[in-house]
Amino acid sequence: MFDTLIDRRSVSNEKWSRYPEAVLPAWVADMDFKAPQCVIDALHERVEHGVFGYTGVSQDLLDVACAFIQKHYNWHVNPEWFVFVSGVVPSMNVTCKMLEPSQSVLTTSPIYPHFFKAPKMMNKEVTAVPLVEKEGRWTFDFEALKRAISPTCKLFLLCNPYNPGGTVFTKEELTHLGEIVKTHNLLICSDEIHADLLLDPKARHIPIASLDEDLAHRTITLMAPSKTFNIAGLNCSFAIIPDAALRRRFQASMGGLNGGVNLLGLTAAKAAYEGGEAWLEALRFYLKENLLLVQAFVAKHPRLKLLDQQATFLAWIDCRDLGVNPYELFLSHGVGLSNGKDFLGEGFVRLNFGCPRQTLKEILERMDTALLRTPN
Ligand SMILES: Cc1ncc(COP(=O)(O)O)c(C=O)c1O
Under 8 Å between Cβ of 92 and 114 = yes
- Which residue type sits at 56? G
In angstroms, the CA 235 to CA 256 distance is: 17
86 lines ligand 1 (CB under 6 A): no
Average pLDDT score over residue span 282-291: 98
Measured distance between the N- and C-terminal CA atoms of the chain, rounded to whole angstroms: 40
The rounded Å distance from CA 29 to ligand 1 centre is 8
Is residue 78 left, alpha or beta, with left meaning phi > 0 and alpha meaning psi from -120 to 50?
Answer: beta
The rounded Å distance from CA 87 to ligand 1 centre is 8
Q: What is the pLDDT of residue 151?
A: 97
User: Cα 315–12–286 angle (5° rounding)?
Assistant: 35
Task: Quote the strand ranges of 167-211, DSSP E.
Answer: 187-191
Average pLDDT score over residue span 106-115: 98
165 lines ligand 1 (CB under 6 A): no
- Which residue type sits at 316? W
In angstroms, the CA 261 to CA 252 distance is: 17
Under 8 Å between Cβ of 85 and 225 = no
Helix H or strand E encompassing 172: helix 171-183
94 lines ligand 1 (CB under 6 A): no
DSSP state of 131: P
Nearest atom within ligand 1 for CA of residue 163: 1
DSSP state of 198: B
Note the Cα 169 to chain centre separation in Å: 14
Fold of 41-275: Aspartate Aminotransferase; domain 2 (3.40.640)
The rounded Å distance from CA 228 to ligand 1 centre is 11
CATH superfamily, region 24-35+277-372:
Aspartate Aminotransferase, domain 1 (3.90.1150.10)
State yes or no: pLDDT of 366 exceeds 80.
yes
State yes or no: pLDDT of 376 exceeds 90.
no
State yes or no: pLDDT of 336 exceeds 90.
yes
240 lines ligand 1 (CB under 6 A): no
Nearest atom within ligand 1 for CA of residue 224: 10
3-state secondary structure 209-222: HHCCHHHHHCEEEE
Q: For 186-210, what is each residue's pLDDT tens digit? A: 999 999 999 999 999 999 999 999 9
| Burial state string for 308-322 with b = 16 or more CB within 10 A and e = fewer than 16 | bbbbbbbbbbbbeeb
69 lines ligand 1 (CB under 6 A): no
Give Cα separations from 159 to 45, 108, 208 (angstroms).
35, 9, 10
Q: What is the pLDDT of residue 21?
A: 95
Q: What is the mean pLDDT of the chain?
A: 97
In percent, the amount of the chain with pLDDT more than 70 equals: 100
- For the chain, give the number of residues: 376
29 lines ligand 1 (CB under 6 A): yes
The rounded Å distance from CA 137 to ligand 1 centre is 22
Q: For 300-331, what is each residue's pLDDT tens digit? A: 999 999 999 999 999 999 999 999 999 999 99
Under 8 Å between Cβ of 250 and 280 = no
159 lines ligand 1 (CB under 6 A): yes
Domain extents for the chain?
24-35+277-372, 41-275
In angstroms, the CA 127 to CA 3 distance is: 42
Q: What is the pLDDT of residue 260?
A: 85
87 lines ligand 1 (CB under 6 A): yes
Pick the closest to residue 192 from 245, 127, 133, 239 (CA basis): 239
261 lines ligand 1 (CB under 6 A): no
Under 8 Å between Cβ of 176 and 262 = no
Q: What is the pLDDT of residue 106?
A: 98
Peptide bond into 164 cis (omega under 30): yes
66 lines ligand 1 (CB under 6 A): no
Average pLDDT score over residue span 267-282: 98
Ligand 1 binding pocket mutation candidate from 27, 157, 158, 193 (most atoms within 8 A of CB)? 193
Q: What is the band of 375 on the pLDDT scale with cuts at 50, 70, 90? A: confident
pTM: 0.98
Q: What is the pLDDT of residue 344?
A: 98
> Which residues lie closer than 8 Å to 47 by C-beta, 6 or more apart?
264
Q: What is the band of 58 on the pLDDT scale with cuts at 50, 70, 90? A: very high
Pick the closest to residue 34 from 5, 72, 55 (CA basis): 5
Helix H or strand E encompassing 280: helix 277-300
